[in-house]
Amino acid sequence: MTGMDLIGFIVVFILATYLGASLIGRVPPTLHTPLMSGANAVSGITVVGAMAVAGHTDYGWLGSVLGFIAIVFAMMNVVGGYAVTDRMLEMFKKGPQGGAK
Amino acid sequence: MIGIGLERLLYLVATVLFITGLKQLQSPETARKGNQISAAGMLLAIVITLLSTKTMTYGTIMAGLLVGGAVGLYMARSVAMTSMPQMVALLNGVGGGSSLLVATAEYLHMYEKGEAATLDVALSTHLGVLIGAVTLTGSAIAWAKLQEVMTGKAITFGGQKTVNGLLFAVIAGLAAWLIVVPTAPLWAFYALIGLSLLLGVLLVIPIGGADMPVVISLLNSYSGIAAAMTGFVIKSEVLVVSGALVGSSGIILSQIMCKAMNRSLGNVLFGAFGAAAGKSSKSSEGLTVASTNVEEAALQLAYAQQVIIVPGYGLAVAQAQHQVRELMDLIEKRGGTVKFAIHPVAGRMPGHMNVLLAEANIPYDKLIDMDDINPEFERTDVCLVIGANDVVNPAARTDPSSPIFGMPILNADQAKRCIVMKRGMSAGFAGIENELFYNPKTQMLFGDAKGTLTKLVAEVKQV
C-alpha cells in the first residue's frame, strides 16, 4: 500500500465511524436488539476476505483450511444475523389492532 | 469475470446498501425493509467476489458458503427469543474469529513468499489478529456465562489486573518485534495469536452476568473493528466501511447501557461489580411490607384509568409475556389504557425486553422508553411491577449512600398505587434493599409471575 492509499483508507475509516455513530444514535431503543444482530450480519462482510483466501491457489493447503473455516464463520454471521433480525422485526407490530394476527 | 474498476464500483454499491439499510432501522415501520436491503448488499458483495478475477478455485468457497449458511439459518430459526443475547454473543465470536483467520492466512502467505510487509499492513494484521482473537474467546466466555454453562458471577483472583496488563504488554512487544523485524521467527506470530486468545478469556471472566449487556455490545464493536482491520490488510474499502459502521454501533450501545446503569465503561470492565454482593445501605428492620391477594389486585386493575406495567427479566424467565398481553387486552376492553415502561437495561441485552414483548404480540407503540414514560407515573392509577427490582428502586434518586445512587430509574413510586409481583423478598442483581416495597402505596403480590398472572387474568374477567 502506498502512503497515499493508506491515508485514503484511514479517511474512509474515520468518516465511516462518524457516519455509523450518527446513524446508530437515531435508532430507537426498542430496536436495539435487532440493530445488534443486524450489525453482526454486516460484520460478516469478512466473508469477502475469507473467499479471497480460500479461492486463491497461492495460499497452499493451510490457506485453504483457514479460508474454509473463515468462510463458515462469516457465513454464520451473515445468514444467522440477517435471518434472526428478520424474524424479530417481523414481530414488531403497531397498535391498536396491530397485535392481532 | 469482471475488471478491477467495475469490481470496486460494485463493492461501493454494496456499501451504500448497508448504509441505507442501517438508516431504515431508525423506525420500526421501515426496519424490516432496511434489513432486507442490507442483506441484498451482502449478497451483491458475495457475488462480486465470486466473479472476481482473483478467484481461482471454487470448491472450498462453495463448501464454506453452504456449511456456514446452513448453520446460520438453523441457528436463526431455532433460537428462542430469551436466548438472543447468547446468539448475538456467538455471532460476535465467529465474526471476530473470521477476521482472525483471514489476517492469519494473509500473514502466513506474505511470510512464505518472503515479502516484507509494509508497516501499515503489518500493523493492521497484528491489530486484526489481536482484536479478532479477543473477540472470539471473549464472546465464548460471554456466551458460557449467559447460557449458564459457567458461573455468571465475576471470577476474580489476586493480581488479576497486573496479569492482564503484563499479558497485554507481552502481546504489544511481540507485535512490535514482528513489525520492526520482518524476518522474526514464525513462533512469535503464533505466540501473538495464543496470548491474544488467552487475553480474551481473562478480560471477560471478571465481569458479572448482570453486566453482560455491556460486554456483548462492546464485543459487537470489536468484531466490527477487527473486520475493518482486515480490510486494511487486504485493501478492501467495503470491509473498512462496514467494519467501522459496526464498530461505532457497538460502542454507542455500550455507552447507552453504561449510562442507564450510571457506571463508567471502565467500572463495568474492571470493577468486578458482581463479585461481592453489595451491602444494603439501609436496613429493612422495623419496616413492614403490605401484601395483597389476587382478588384485590384484580379489582384495582379492572377499575384503573391508566395502568403502567414495568416488566423485568423475571417476566421473561417465567415466559409470562402472553399472560401479560391477555391482561392488557382485558383492561383495555374495560376502557383503561395500558402502557409498558421499558428501562434501558430491562432484559439481558439492549432492547431485549422490547423483542420479548413484541413476540407476545404487544404493539411496539405501547412500549415506552424511560424518559418518555417517567412523567406519566403521576397520572397513573396502578403501576404493576413484574419481576423488576433495581430499576424501580427510589434509592437511586434519594439515597446518596446507595450503590445504585444516580442510576436513572422508572418512577414507579410516583404512581397512585403500586403492585409489585415477586417471588419473595430477595434482593435484585445489585443486592440492595428496595424502598419501594416498604412504601405505604405499595402492595406486594407474592408468587411466580406466570401462575399469578394467569389467576389475575381470570379474576379481572369476572369483575
Distance CA(A68)–CA(B59), nearest Å, equals 10
Q: What are phi and psi of B52, to 5 degrees?
A: -60, 145
Confidence label for B158 from pLDDT (cuts 50, 70 and 90): confident
Q: Are residues B200 and B261 in the same domain?
A: yes
Distance separating alpha carbons of residues B322 and B360, to the nearest angstrom: 5
The answer to the question of residue B275 being in a domain is no
Q: How many CB pairs under 8 A join A and B?
A: 393
Residues from chain A contacting residue B91 (CB–CB below 8 Å):
37, 40, 76-77, 80-81
Identify the CA nearest to B137 among candidates B187, B97, B85, B102.
B97
Inspect the interface and report whether the beta carbons of A74 and B45 lie closer than 8 Å: no
Over range A28-37, report the average pLDDT.
93
Do B49 and B191 share a domain, yes or no? no
Under an 8 A CB cutoff, do A28 and B27 touch? yes
* Residue A97 covered by a domain: no
Distance, in Å, from the CA atom of B227 to the CA atom of B98, rounded to the nearest integer, reads 8
Say how far apart CA B194 and CA B180 lie, in whole Å.
20
Q: Are residues B179 and B102 in the same domain?
A: yes
pLDDT surpasses 60 at B299: yes
Q: Concatenated DSSP letters for B366-428? A: GEEEHHHHGGGGGG-SEEEEES--GGG-THHHH-TTSTTTT-----GGGSSEEEEEESSS---
Domain contains B214: yes
Do B340 and B213 lie in one domain? The reply is no
Between B273-282, B304-313, B454-463, the lowest mean confidence (pLDDT) is in B273-282
Number of structural domains in chain A? 1
Q: Tell if the CB–CB gap between A40 and B92 is shorter than 8 Å.
A: yes
Q: Domain for residue A51, yes or no?
A: yes
Least confident of A61-75, B111-125, B428-442: B428-442
Q: Which domain holds residue A18?
A: 3-91
pLDDT of residue B52: 83
Domain assignment of residue A63, yes or no: yes
- pLDDT-derived band at A97 (thresholds 50, 70, 90) equals low
Does some domain include residue A22?
A: yes
**Domain annotation covers residue A43:** yes
**Does residue A53 lie in a domain region?**
yes
- Domain with B96, as residue range(s), is 82-270
Average pLDDT over residues A33-55: 93
| pLDDT reading at B275 higher than 50 | no
Cβ contact, residue pair B95, A54, below 8 Å: no
Q: How far apart are the first and last CA of chain B?
A: 73
Q: Give A61 to chain B, closest Cα distance, Å.
A: 11
One domain for residues B70 and B130: no
Same-domain check for residues B364 and B242? no
Looking at the domain assignment, is residue A101 inside a domain?
Answer: no
Q: Dump strand ranges (E) for B181-336.
A: 306-311
Which pLDDT belongs to residue A98? Answer: 43
A:52-91 residues touching chain B, CB 8 A cutoff: 52-60, 62-64, 66-91
**Is B453 found in the same domain as B328?**
yes
Contact B220 A13 (CB under 8 A): no
Q: Are B210 and B231 in contact (CB under 8 A)?
A: no
Q: Are residues B386 and B410 in the same domain?
A: yes
- Among A50-64, B10-24, B98-112, the range scoring the smallest mean pLDDT is A50-64
Residue B430 has pLDDT above 70, yes or no: no
Residue B277: pLDDT over 80: no
Q: Which of B72, B102, B362 has the CB atom closest to A50's CB atom?
A: B102
Kindly indicate the confidence band of residue B426, based on its pLDDT and cuts at 50, 70 and 90: low
Q: Which residues of B touch A18 (CB under 8 A)?
A: 248
Please count the structural domains in chain B: 3
* Residue B248 falls inside a structural domain: yes
Partners of B111 on chain A (C-beta within 8 Å) are: none
pLDDT at B276: 43
Residue with cell 455468571: B152
Mean pLDDT of chain B: 88
Mutate: best of B29, B50, B51, B101, partner A, most A CBs <10 A: B101
Q: Using the beta-carbon criterion (under 8 Å), do A62 and B105 form an inter-chain contact?
A: yes
In a domain, B282, yes or no: no
Q: Is residue B154 part of a domain?
A: yes
Say yes or no: B328 and B262 in one domain.
no
CB atoms within 10 A of CB B458: 13
Nearest to A58 among B109, B235, B369 (CB): B109
Non-local (6+) Cβ contacts of B419 within 8 A are B292, B297, B300, B301, B382, B383, B384, B385, B442, B443, B444, B445
Cβ separation of A23 and B19 shorter than 8 Å? yes
Same domain, residue pair B16 and B58: yes
Q: Kindly state whether residues B366 and B339 are assigned to the same domain.
A: yes
Beta pairing partners, B339: B308
Domain-embedded: residue B289:
no
Q: Are B203 and B348 in the same domain?
A: no
B404 — pLDDT class (breaks 50, 70, 90)? confident
Residues of A in contact with B364 (CB under 8 A): 30, 92-95
Q: Is the pLDDT of residue B435 over 90?
A: no
Higher pLDDT, residue B42 or B322: B42
What is the Cα–Cα distance from A8 to B4, expressed in whole angstroms?
Answer: 18
Is there a domain that residue A65 lies in?
yes
Tens digit of each residue's pLDDT (9 = 90 or more) over B184-243? 889 999 999 999 999 999 999 988 877 888 899 999 999 999 999 999 998 899 999 999
User: pLDDT grade, residue A99 (50/70/90)?
Assistant: very low
Among B78, B98, B128, give the residue marking a domain's end: B78
Top pLDDT among B317 and B258 is at: B258
